[in-house]
Amino acid sequence: MLKDLLNAPGSKTPNGLPSFQLWVPQGAEYQAVRRGWHRRGLAANILALPVGSLAVTAFLTQWWQSRPVEVRPLGKIIVLGLAGSLSAEFSLGQPVLYQSCRRLGPSPSVPPAYLDAALTAFLHQQLAYPLVQGLTSDHVINQREEKMTLGQQYGRAVVDMEGIAVLAFCQAHGLPVAMLRVISDDIDQALPDLQGVYDNRGQLRPLALAGALVNQPRRGLHLIRSSLTALQALEQVAASLSELKF
């Protein structure tokens, strides 16, 4: 029954490939997922993604083209990471499971990116995380007023910077995908101005981040504290995922 949905963690498909992969934004999120997943000594392919939709699209396109055709079928994809809250219903440290995702701005002319219904339903049943509608932005939403406006305008509960690009890629290549996120800042939390802390390849610029935190120290300190809380929760989500009987 359940093993028909996914093979056991770390197992192989009939062609010898991993039955699924974890895709996670690089840096602290990636490290948190690795710590949580490896608590039980399990092996899984964990792919580190850059930050931002354009960078994700370029990275995944190059990554896919560099893979030999015989190893391109990847099984199922589970995306893990952090997200900001656009609703008072979801606060710091809350894990959520995406039910849909759309881009901030005018609706794209291409079909909307999808999430695999069976995989999403299985994770919802096993983990009991609430289902949410996601929004992907090309910049960090740092003002409380903007969060409230976007939540009301789009009817979305959380915002990220990679989701729509990952889902569009998976849709284009027929890869079943589900997305789990942990709230890193609630709707009332104002963040420092983080514009420019990532380069055009989606890589963190440490000096730019340090400058942003110093320029707005109260917001910067709050961001550090909330990020640590969210990363601990993300690590636990990865650990919980590793314990499922797929």
Compute the average pLDDT of residues 7-12: 43
Among 246, 190, 197, which residue's Cα sits nearest to residue 220?
A: 190
Q: Does residue 14 have a pLDDT over 80?
A: no
Q: What is the mean pLDDT of the chain?
A: 85
Mean pLDDT of 47-52: 93
Q: Specify the DSSP class assigned to residue 18.
A: B
Taking only the tens place, the pLDDT of each residue in 143-184 is 999 999 999 999 999 999 999 999 999 998 889 999 999 999
pLDDT in tens, 54-101: 999 999 999 998 877 766 656 789 999 999 999 999 999 999 999 999
Can you list the alpha helix ranges (DSSP code H) found in 101-216?
117-127, 144-154, 163-172, 206-215
* Average pLDDT rounded to a whole number, residues 112-129: 90
pLDDT tier at 11 (50, 70, 90 boundaries)? very low
Query: Is residue 218 classed exposed, middle or buried when 0-12, 13-18 and 19+ CB atoms within 10 A define those classes?
Result: exposed
Query: Is residue 1 predicted with pLDDT exceeding 80?
Result: no
- What pLDDT sits at residue 32? 96
Higher pLDDT, 106 or 102: 102
C-alpha 157/C-alpha 151 separation (Å) is: 6
Q: What is the pTM of this model?
A: 0.87
Residue 53 has pLDDT above 60, yes or no: yes
CA-nearest of 162, 168, 178 to 117 is 178
Query: What one-character DSSP code corresponds to residue 198?
Result: B
